[in-house]
Amino acid sequence: MYNDWFLRFAPVAYRETRIRTTKDVEATLLKTKNPTDVSADVLKREPNVLPTLRMSTCPPLAVDRLIGLAGVSRNLVACMEEGTIPLRMDTAMLEKDLNKIGAIIERMADPDIFVWLGRRAVATEPEVLRAATIVADRLCGSIANPIIRNAQEKRQLAAVGSWLRGRGYSPLPPMTKFDAMPPGTFSFRLNVPVKLEGLASTINIPVATVVMPKRSKAGELPLLIEAKSAGDFTNVNKRRKEEAVKMSQLRVTYGARVRFILLLCGYFDSGYLGYEAAEGIDWVWEHRIDEFAKFGL
């Protein structure tokens, strides 16, 4: 089921993301004069261009590599990756570090992508489009797995919503309080407050789907469903602790009455399933989605 989806829809999801990203890269090239003007003024005015510029070098630069090469503040680069400039950073130091970053980017700009560098003739429109597409592909390649996972989650939640609506359940907005849901309702990507051991404060953990069964009684907690997909066995065993941590936090806060299950599609082996079962986490395979009924839905 996962492989069939991947062959039909993953290329579409990736290409759509790359097309949007290409437009962003073209805008960055325009701001940095393709990219021959990576000055402190430009970076201060447009800090969000840094991820694109890192992928414009030969070789592409990871965040830590850029920090090491330029010898600049880690906090500065972290803020720029989020599209901002540190508010409290000394003005003179900021100017100095931004110039260092710009110097590294200009020095390492990839001449095989930006073929107009070092020549008199300016870049042509086809050359800029080609360069933007290559840089966009580098950007998307660095986050390929999240792109595919996000597309899969969207599809999985649509399948859950269709199944629930077909049984008379009504959707609620995401801002709904999870412990105030009326019977026969559900909501996607709901925040559930949990306590952290040893701390008085609470944090919110996002849950993909929260459903209050039709036959639930007063004071009963809704069923919490996490949608998971995986394209290989190795990756899931790296991520299997994520659900165990959530379950532990939920138990600390709500006790044994909490119900947290998984909707699985893809490559989940006995090692992963055994680990989750040991934590008291059950699951439904997506190709047998009707088994949600066994949880009182």
The residues spanned by each domain of the chain are 2-142, 145-295
pLDDT of residue 45: 93
Q: How many C-beta atoms surround the C-beta of residue 147 within 10 A?
A: 17
pLDDT per residue rounded down to tens, the chain (297 residues): 889 989 998 899 889 999 999 999 999 999 999 999 999 999 999 999 999 999 999 999 999 999 999 999 999 999 999 999 998 899 999 999 999 999 999 999 999 999 999 889 999 999 999 999 999 999 998 777 788 888 899 999 999 999 999 999 999 987 778 888 999 999 999 999 898 776 677 888 999 999 999 999 888 899 999 999 988 887 777 778 888 888 988 988 888 889 999 999 999 999 899 999 999 999 999 999 999 999 999
List the strands of the sheet with 259-266, edge to edge. 170-171, 185-195, 202-212, 223-230, 259-266, 282-285
Query: Bridge partners of 57?
Result: 109
Is residue 214 exposed (0-12), middle (13-18) or buried (19+ Cβ within 10 Å)? middle
Q: How many C-beta atoms surround the C-beta of residue 140 within 10 A?
A: 20
Tell me the fold of 145-295: Trna Endonuclease; Chain: A, domain 1 (3.40.1350)
- Chain centroid to Cα 73, Å, comes to 25
Share the mean pLDDT of the chain: 91
Q: Tokens 């701390």, residue?
A: 199
What counts of helices (H) and strands (E) characterise the chain?
10, 6
- Secondary structure class of 156 (helix, strand, coil): helix
pLDDT of residue 238: 74
DSSP symbol at 243: H
For residue 76, what are the contacts with CB-CB under 8 A and spacing of at least 6? 85, 86, 89, 94, 97, 98
For the chain, state the CA radius of gyration: 24
**DSSP alpha helix (H) spans, 202-289:** 233-254, 270-278
Instruction: Say if residues 161 and 186 touch (Cβ distance below 8 Å).
Output: yes
Buried b or exposed e, range 43-76, using 16+ CB within 10 angstroms = beeebbbbbbbbbbbeebbeeeebbebbebbeeb
Q: Tokens 């965040």, residue?
A: 63
Strands 223-230 and 202-212: antiparallel
pLDDT of residue 219: 83
pLDDT of residue 174: 77
What are the backbone dihedrals phi and psi of residue 109, each rounded to the nearest 5 degrees, phi first?
Answer: -55, 135
Q: How many C-beta atoms surround the C-beta of residue 154 within 10 A?
A: 13
